[in-house]
Structure 1
Amino acid sequence: MPRKIVIDIETTGKDFDSLDEISKEYLLKYAQTDDEVKAVKEGMGFSPLTGEIIAIGMLNPDTDNGAVYFQSPELLQEPLKEEGIEYIPDTEAGILRKFWEAVRHYDQIITFNGRGFDAPFLMIRSAVHKIQPTKDLMPNRYSLSHADLLDLLTFYGAVRRKFSLHMWCKAFGIESPKEEGVSGYEVHDLFQKQEYLTIAKYCVGDLYATKKLFEYWETYVRFNPGS
């Protein structure tokens, strides 16, 4: 039986004003209105070149034990454990090192849009810190060693509309973490307010939703000959 781990990350964008002038000019090249400039600045967290990882969540779907490694700058935060989940603060480099040390022990990683976002972000931000990966997060697209539910539920791109984690959860009667009052769009503001543990716990909600969505896919969507 393969050892499985569910992975999810939370990110935030760098301060736009901290960038060099050439980078600013490049990013604003096609922004012609104030709203477009605002959209560029608010989208900095979507790229590992203009953003950073502030939380990495990991959940063993077979035991419901896991950990969230999260940034807690300028705020002394002690590690704690709640309902099988450890919350461990560190720097971005520190949480990346902890992630790579943990993930190497698993055979299968489970994500939602992990191939399009989480895995590349983890690998590039690790490279920024000169941290080498311990596991291939981007294997052959059709290999279930990385089970990306967005890929699986849209049949590897055959379905045009992809939809969000929230929409897929609602379709299958799974509780969505977005219903708890926090969404990914609020993470940057929470980080600025130093609500680091709130971000970490929001990440856990995504982990459980992804776990349940994977179980639903295995039971009702995946074709199992002879079942």
Structure 2
Amino acid sequence: MHLRRKREPDVVEEAIIQQKAASLHPLLGWIVCISVQRAVDNPFQPNPPHSYLAPTPDDERDMLERFWHDVQQFVDRRERICWITFNGKRFDVPFLLARTLHHGLAPVQCDLLDTYPYNQYPHCDLSKLFEGINLGLADLCALLNVSNPKEYGDGNQVQHMLETEGIEAVRRYCEADVEATMQCFARLLPLLPPACQPRG
């Protein structure tokens, strides 16, 4: 006869949270952080990054509501926005939509949701500019002489960062990523259509 040790409920719950934090599947994971950065006239001089945080799965719905509320403000003002991401069309936007719908929320209908791979406006996904070469963000930063944001961590390390250093470490990592993405965008402007060019 084999006896199984009973698992403590807290240990089981902690294991589930760890699995979710580590997962890149929208049914198993949650969005821990969304970082954004705005450059009104000059991508070489953007505003400081801003982050929306969900340290636990229970915080995710509130974070998503705040994010979409802020996006709605831009839509209501009818501002011309070029949304800039790195791999956002293939990963970030679909994951964001899946998690939004999971909570019964409605995403704001905005140009960020344009995931057609061959348009660079209104959603400019920098990873699509070099699709045949398979460059990651760290590679693109090295190519363009931009500081490597991966010194702060990697997407696969979010669970470990959250457990060992807390949500502020995740914020630092995500904000370093968006700052590097903005710097790469600024250096890639000669390759981008007129609609992506600064207004000033």
TM interval, shorter chain, is: 0.7 to 0.9
Give me the whole-angstrom Cα distance separating, in 2, the residues matched to 1:204 and 1:68.
Answer: 7
> Which residue in 2 is equivalent to 1:38?
none
> Which residue in 2 is equivalent to 1:163?
135
Give me the whole-angstrom Cα distance separating, in 2, the residues matched to 1:54 and 1:42.
Answer: 10
> Which residue in 1 is equivalent to 2:70?
102
Question: 1:46: how far off?
Answer: 1.5
> Which residue in 2 is equivalent to 1:126?
100
Give me the whole-angstrom Cα distance separating, in 1, the residues matched to 2:47 and 2:171.
Answer: 16
Which structure has more helix as a fraction of its residues?
Answer: 2
Q: Which ranges of structure 2 fall in alignment gaps of 5 or more residues?
A: 1-12, 41-45, 195-200
Query: Is the 8 Å Cα contact of residues 100 and 135 (structure 1) preserved in structure 2?
Result: no
Q: Does 1:46 align with 2:17?
A: no
- Identical columns (%): 26
Alignment partner of 1:65 out of 48, 51, 56: 48
Distance 1:223 1:69, change over 3 A: closer
Q: Which ranges of structure 1 fall in alignment gaps of 5 or more residues?
A: 1-14, 20-40, 75-89
CA deviation map 1:40-92 (0-9, x unaligned): x7995222122110001011023413410112349xxxxxxxxxxxxxxx811
Give me the whole-angstrom Cα distance separating, in 2, the residues matched to 1:130 and 1:42.
Answer: 19
Q: Does 1:142 align with 2:118?
A: yes
Query: Is the 8 Å Cα contact of residues 72 and 194 (structure 1) preserved in structure 2?
Result: no
Question: 1:95: how far off?
Answer: 1.1
Give me the whole-angstrom Cα distance separating, in 1, the residues matched to 2:56 and 2:24.
Answer: 21
Query: Is the 8 Å Cα contact of residues 69 and 95 (structure 1) preserved in structure 2?
Result: yes
> Which residue in 2 is equivalent to 1:176?
148
Which structure has more strand as a fraction of its residues?
Answer: 1
Letter in 2 for 1:145: P
Letter in 1 for 2:117: R
Question: 1:176: how far off?
Answer: 1.1
* Count of residue correspondences: 167
CA deviation map 1:96-143 (0-9, x unaligned): 111111223152211000001110011000000011011343324333
Letter in 1 for 2:162: F
